[in-house]
Amino acid sequence: MTTRAFQNTSHYGLGIPDGHGTPKTIDLESIDKTVVREIITQIYTTNASSWVQSPEHIPAFLSADFFGLGVRPSNVSLSALTVRIVLETADPAAFGGQFERLLSTEQVWTGNFKLDIWLWMDSFGLGFIYNMMADALRALRSMVKQTENRGGVVWVRCNGRYFAEEWKEVYKDFVSDKEEVLKRKMKEHILSGCG
């Protein structure tokens, strides 16, 4: 029986690309289960393709046993997680509880853990986008600080493109009375390139 090492639901998943976009496979019946569990652990420790469709799915992802062998993201060191946030439907007030389990010290990370936040939007009115993004940035502030305090790195993307190289650049423009700089960057990068 060959099991794909690429499992997903519509809400979260784990991808192991082989360089050509094709998922690799593991023949679970021909390999000792202890070895397979170690391989799976290494996937979580070195793989940057773990994702959730929205912050509300983080707990389900961390509890998922993708391979049916008792190895869950919550039991191993994670190297990365991509969290997609659809701004039109997101509830920024709920982010704290949604990220809580990931940010808990009970969840072990590798030394180079990367939290990749994709701010996704379908609306393109600059004022509307700015207000949604401002609400999300305010709500994400404490999650980012917790991630960085634990040695992790946070990246922010807009519609899949890097909006800034690091969270600190977006955050700096947002909180340092430079809202016009953020609006200009949004206009240049979001309105002209996303969609």
Secondary structure (H, E, C), 109-141: EEEEEEEEEEEECCCCCHHHHHHHHHHHHHHHH
Q: Among the listed ranges 47-56, 96-105, 179-188, which one has the minimum average pLDDT value?
A: 179-188
Residue 156 has pLDDT above 70, yes or no: yes
Residue 73 has pLDDT above 80, yes or no: yes
The pLDDT of residue 147? 92
- Structure confidence at residue 16 as a pLDDT band (50, 70, 90): low
- Structure confidence at residue 179 as a pLDDT band (50, 70, 90): low
Q: Which residue has the higher pLDDT, 124 or 158?
A: 158
By DSSP bridging, strand 25-27 and strand 2-4 are antiparallel
Question: What letter does residue 15 receive in the DSSP assignment?
Answer: -
Provide the token pair at 104: 């808990």
Most confident residue range from 22-26, 36-40, 155-159:
36-40
Provide the token pair at 185: 């960057």
Residue 164 has pLDDT above 70, yes or no: no
The pLDDT of residue 26? 57
Residue 8 has pLDDT above 80, yes or no: no
Phi, psi values for residue 12, rounded to 5°: -160, 165
Q: Which residue has the higher pLDDT, 121 or 5?
A: 121
Q: Which residue has the higher pLDDT, 43 or 29?
A: 43
pLDDT, averaged across the chain: 75
The pLDDT of residue 77? 94
